[in-house]
Amino acid sequence: MAGLDRHSFRAIALVAGVAVVAAALMSGSHEISAERIRLNQRERLLQALHEVLDPAAHDNDLLRDQVLVMDPDLLGKPDPVEVFLASRGGVPVAAIFAPVAPRGYNGPIDLLVGISANGTITGVRVTGHRETPGLGDKIDIDKSDWIAGFDGKSLSMPTLTGWNVVSDGGEFDAFTSATVTPRAVVRAVRDTLIYFEQNREALFSQLAAAGAPADTGASGVAQ
């Protein structure tokens, strides 16, 4: 075997040795950090959910009562969207959607939209965006409280034409030199409300199914 001379053998042994040590190092640090990272992400998600829904308003585990729904037209992406169902004493009080505003200025904008059982908005937050710093990023609660303007709104207040930015004849302020961003957010929130309106019963029946087995029969009878 002319190919496997002393030199090549040393090279292969070296690379193999380093690769084994490197793999051990990485799996070791994964071992140490995996659980913490999972807890961190869970914690962060709960924190975000409680930004759009008062923690006192529900007593269930939002991360457990979580369902996936799909509606590319109204929820903004071709993949399933998480919905977190909130209940208090077994009674549905709100649903929190994680829809996307597909037409941001620099791409999709990730949202959390909290909607109470009677169809009014309990809060909206932007969880991820690439909008222009200083212009479009005013949708971020850290930059301005524009996003708080959705609180308490519903599909009947304002009316459907009111669900637009001012320059499109609606009720929601746009930012100077950045209309695209708020327009995208306003439309996404409106569409989420429409989706909720259309699917309220189906959504909350899943809550009953997931939460208390006894309720499943009751809701079945009601239907």
Which residues are at the interface with other proteins (CB under 8 A)?
7, 10-11, 14-15, 18-19, 21-23, 25-26, 29-30, 32-33, 36-37, 40-41, 44, 132-135
What is the C-alpha separation between 85 and 45, in angstroms, rounded?
14
Whichever of 28 and 152 has its CB closer to other proteins, that residue is: 28
Q: Which two tokens stand for residue 178?
A: 């950045």
What is the C-alpha separation between 193 and 120, in angstroms, rounded?
8
Which value, in Å, is the radius of gyration of the alpha carbons in the chain? 24
Whichever of 65 and 137 has its CB closer to other proteins, that residue is: 137
The pair phi, psi for residue 38, each rounded to 5°, is -60, -45
Which residues on adjacent β-strands are paired with residue 124?
Answer: 113
Q: How far is the CB of 212 from other proteins (least distance, A)?
A: 34
Whichever of 11 and 91 has its CB closer to other proteins, that residue is: 11
Residue type, 92: P
Q: How far is the CB of 21 from other proteins (least distance, A)?
A: 8
Contact 97, 115 (CB under 8 A): yes
Q: How far is the CB of 131 from other proteins (least distance, A)?
A: 12
Q: How far is the CB of 48 from other proteins (least distance, A)?
A: 11
Q: How far is the CB of 18 from other proteins (least distance, A)?
A: 5
Whichever of 31 and 73 has its CB closer to other proteins, that residue is: 31
Nearest to 102 by CA among 64, 141, 133, 71: 71
Whichever of 11 and 212 has its CB closer to other proteins, that residue is: 11
What is the C-alpha separation between 151 and 123, in angstroms, rounded?
5
